[in-house]
Chain A
Amino acid sequence: MSQLAFLAPLTPEDAAKALGAQGARALSGGTDLLVQLRAGRARPSVIVDLKRIAGAIGVREEGGGFVIGACTPGILLSEHAALSRAWPGVVEGASLIGSTQIQARATLAGNLCNASPAADSVPAMIAGRATCVIVGPGGRREAAVESIVLGPGRTSLAPGEFILEFRLPPRPKRAADAYLRLIPRTEMDIAVAGAAVNLTLDDAGTVTEAHVVIGAVAPTALWLREAGAALVGSRLEAPAVEAMQAVVRAACRPIDDKRGTVEYRTRIAGVLAQRAATIAYQRARGVI
């Protein structure tokens, strides 16, 4: 019988050391790991709880942007007024993960490193050009969020590496984001498709920068530069939006599974991207 160990290091260095062991798994909110443990899909030798590291939980404003501790549960993000104002799409992505109970536990780092194609918090983080601070045996490094997930269940983190915090850049005026996902019920489902849109406008309401990211329609979340480009220079007139939707639908490479069909996911990704763009646009203009 293999014996499972549990460690709760207090410093990043100790955590990196503990995670360097063979068969070590990081524990953040645990809402995926515990399910995998129970189902026998994960059989680690040691679980390393990262939540007791100083700064692992909490949100702080720094250099005009935000720093989010990697183990911050979703509920603390939606309770943070300044973050919710500046990054409503990032916050709604995180807030859509699971129930009230899950919101008290599930974290951005866990959602990202679980590496599910359908992770709700990831598209808006990528669209927001967020980065993560990674700690490992070799020290610290910073990487773009989109560089972390390689495919379902696979990340670019080296053995012993873990995410310490996320950084969201300073917000210019007239900028906002939005995230939408589709689920058959109103709650408690995994996204069939998701779309995040992050827009910056000029004083006249013309889009100057746009990032469109779609989720659950490919092995990883997809940052579609051309979809964003289609919106730049527009005020979200129909031709621009349709061009954006065309890029989105062409990029979809979903699978048929218990949560949706290829055809449906592709169709819906376009609908969600259009709706998310509209919401982000209205937010950026201060209409909502």
Chain B
Amino acid sequence: MSETLKRPGARQTLNVVGTRPIRPDGADKVTGRAAFGADLSMSGQLVGRILRSPHPHARILSIDTSKAAALPGVKAVITGADFPDLGAEVLAGGEAVTNLADMAANVMARDKVLYDGHAVAAVAAISAEIAEEALRRIEVAYETLPHVIEVLEAMRPDAPVLHATLFTQGLEARPEQPSNISNRTRFMRGDFEAAYAAADVRMEGRYTTRAVHQGYIEPHACVAAWGSDGQCEVWGSSQGQFMVRTYCARVLGVPISNVHVTPAEIGGGFGGKTTVYLEPVALALSRASGHPVKMVMSRDEVFRATGPTSGGVIDVKLGASNDGKIVAARVEMMFQAGAFPGSPVAAAAMTCLACYEVDNFEIVGWDVVTNTPKVAAYRAPGAPLGAFGVESAVDELALTLGLDPLTLREINAVKDGSKAPYGPTYQNIAYVDTLAAIRDSEHYKAPLGPNQGRGVAAGFWFNHGGESSGAVHVADDGGIVVVSSNPDIGGSRAAMAMMAAETLGVPLERVRPVVGDTDSIGFAMVTGGSRTTFATGLAVVRAAEQVIEQLRQRAAMLWEVDADKVAWRAGEAVCTDPEKADLKPLSLATLAERASRTGGPISAQVSLNAQGASPGFGVHLCDLEVDPETGVARVIRYTAAQDVGRAIHPSYVEGQLQGGAVQGIGWALNEEYIFDAGGRMENAGFLDYRMPVASDLPMIDTILVETTPNPLHPFGVKGVGEVPIVPPLAAVANALRRAIGVRVPDLPLSPPRILAALEAKQA
């Protein structure tokens, strides 16, 4: 069931935006024609494979590649020594800032391996069989070192230290010893201690989550060629062709303009494809062999060496008055960063209290390196962990106060004019409307059966703008080509085409959207941060407006009137000069046909740094049923409501809500990285990683709250992709709490854990 909540009396004046057309790239994707990362082959290409560390922490004493290199059919063998040494330079290309030297050392280990699966060498050969045999013949001598996986253990003073150069930042004084704690983040307002001490009700809890993977179905894949002239070609799937270009160039030490990247279709990313793993290796193998090199990860490699997001420990203290006003909050979070600094703990700190007006709070975040794969962005990075802690604690507070969980959230809800915990003052937010949408839903009023519970949770994400480009070209017959700077990961071509059609006043069928390669469109940041429809959409709309301006001038030229006497209405130039009232409007097709006589091709490209992204709020409602004898929990009904500004293509916006909710359900119930005592991942496959399958789920109902369009976007767009993964962890956990009468504070809420909680309660 899907509903849309509009502002009472709001008038729909749009023809294309808000409708549900077939996506323009749809036919390719249902016929198998769409070419993803592994679907392209280059003439003469070799197969590239990576040798990975079997140890979570070890010094590389030596690597002997001679036996591998001697194997017939092997064309290149490379190690970390084949990459330039890089300084610790910070790059802002993806969703997070990236330390260049760390990224390069993650792509190929230098003196140390830091996790099971860390790349240590690579080969290119004429077949997969030979490449794999070559890997077996590479001899690596390791000195194994003690390892540490769990975040709290990694923070201990006696923990094995991953990086001798890592000194905690963000403390009052620089520490004298290196440690695994890379950073401390802190946000404060008012006086938490005093307000907490004075509160009528105090609440304290520790909540934990495990590392989870983005779980995109398409493994990382690329094919790359290093030309004899030093020009590099990369074809591959990623969340940003420009990100791949920059990172490859910097890791390999070549000029950025020497690298040409063509974005393939991308088979899911969720943040996990906002960095590079294979591309620089494929280029280095190509340089060494003189052949193009194709590389495709196995699923085992995807789990062991890419992604995941952090596991975390979240300590929450809440103080409230008896009538439900939260007067004090303290949240302290410790996150696994993986092998190199850079967990999303700062974003978690900024978002965890973003739904609440609290006068006195302290939020502390610790970024901690561990012998696990370096974390990558995952959909609203960090926010689900913080929200899991805070929304669970708020649910406990509601139970203690005897308040309805929605009421408690309404009492403390942020609204326009509220100051966000991370600084800005909210404008044009619809959190209160989103809470009301859930309260008014049929679902909220429906009765529950035995062993069932209903959980509520809220979530927040900033949504980004940033650098994007869009171009609009007019063909001879008036057809429109829209070039987007961003890979289409979930229907953004449709959104770009719809916004261009709406702006130009032409039928959608006349607009063909494409995704440009790095040489055919201006720069853009990655498809991520819920920014593409907003920022790239803004660039496309601005380019369409420039095209309209050109069309008005062409019409003015043909009519011999001033351009300000020409208006653009419903896809036609109309003369507004009352003295020339007999002039018939000029259609786009006519103007296009005559373009060569009025100044040449009509086209425009806009590159911009979009400001004015509006944050998003979601409220989710989850019904869970528990088998009290086995501890198995099933989600039996689910509704997600979200402040979306305005949905360009409502079906794909609903899809974002549904997909995000289900990823969150998987995170809550089953998904986790499991390591053995030796620090090796035990469940590096879909079978034992346990993402949700179709039979695990009910339909996911959605409510699109469109009461408050973003005034800083021509069509009111707010980002929508990330918010929906923020509430579900706590929505599920709160439903479980209410189904079984006891809190399980540790994810995943697996059957053994639930049964143990039930037995402990009975004992």
Contact = CB atoms under 8 A, between A and B. Distances in A.
A264 B751 CA distance: 9
Given A261-B752, A264-B752, A184 B690 contact: yes
A184 B674 contact: no
Contacts of A264: 631, 751-752, 755-756
B696 interface: yes
A268 interface: yes
A208 to B, nearest CB: 28
Contact of A271 (B298, B629, B750): B629
Nearest to B682: A258
Nearest to A264: B752
A101 interface: no
Interface in A1-25: 1
A185 B665 CA distance: 12
7 nearest A-B pairs in the assembled complex, by CB-CB distance: A264-B752, A186-B695, A258-B674, A258-B682, A271-B629, A258-B683, A187-B695
Contacts of B130: 1
Contacts of A1: 129-130, 133
A276 to B, nearest CB: 13
A39 B300 contact: yes
Contacts, number: 55
B630 A182 contact: yes
Interface string B113-150: 00000000000000001101100000000000000000
Among A184, A187, A268, chain B packs the most CB atoms within 10 A around the CB of A184
A182 B632 contact: yes
A182 B674 CA distance: 20
A115 to B, nearest CB: 18
A184 B751 contact: yes
Given A1-B129, A268-B630, A185 B752 contact: no
Interface of B: 129-130, 132-133, 298, 300, 629-632, 634, 669-670, 674, 682-683, 686-688, 690, 692-693, 695-696, 750-752, 755-756
A267 interface: yes
A184 B687 CA distance: 11
A185 B692 CA distance: 7
A284 interface: no
A190 interface: yes
A184 B133 contact: no
A39 B550 CA distance: 60
Contacts of A61: none
B751 A189 contact: no
Contacts of B751: 182, 184, 192, 264
A186 B693 contact: yes
B630 A185 contact: no
A187 B630 contact: no
Contacts of A258: 674, 682-683, 688
Given A39-B300, A185-B670, A264-B752, A259 B696 contact: no
Interface string A159-193: 00000000000000000000000101111111010
A215 B44 CA distance: 51
A260 B688 CA distance: 11
Nearest to B629: A271
A188 B693 contact: yes
Given A1-B133, A182-B751, A189 B300 contact: no
A185 B633 CA distance: 9
Contacts of B630: 182, 268, 271
B251 to A, nearest CB: 29
Given A264-B751, A264-B755, A268-B630, A187 B682 contact: no
Q: How large is the interface on A (under 10, 10 to 19, 20 to 34, 35 or more residues)?
A: 20 to 34
A122 B300 CA distance: 29
A138 to B, nearest CB: 36
Contacts of A39: 300
Nearest to B132: A40
Contacts of B300: 39
Contacts of A259: 688
A105 to B, nearest CB: 15
Given A184-B751, A186-B696, 5 more contacts: A182-B751, A185-B693, A186-B634, A189-B690, A258-B688
Among A40, A189, A257, A264, chain B packs the most CB atoms within 10 A around the CB of A264
Contacts of B674: 258
Nearest to B631: A264
19 contacts: A1-B129, A1-B130, A182-B630, A182-B632, A182-B751, A184-B669, A184-B670, A184-B690, A184-B751, A186-B693, A187-B693, A188-B686, A188-B687, A188-B693, A189-B690, A264-B751, A264-B755, A264-B756, A271-B630
Contact of B690 (A185, A267, A268, A271): A185
B755 A184 contact: no
Interface in A239-268: 257-261, 263-264, 267-268
Contacts of A38: 298
A190 B688 contact: yes
A277 to B, nearest CB: 14
Contacts of A186: 634, 693, 695-696
A15 to B, nearest CB: 27
Contacts of A40: 132
Contacts of B696: 185-187
B695 A267 contact: no
A260 B752 contact: yes
Among B670, B686, B755, chain A packs the most CB atoms within 10 A around the CB of B755
Contacts of A192: 751
A271 B758 CA distance: 15
B606 to A, nearest CB: 47
Contacts of A261: 752
A271 B755 CA distance: 12
A1 B629 CA distance: 53
Contacts of A189: 687, 690
Given A1-B133, A184-B750, A190-B688, A267 B755 contact: yes
A1 B686 CA distance: 30
A260 to B, nearest CB: 6
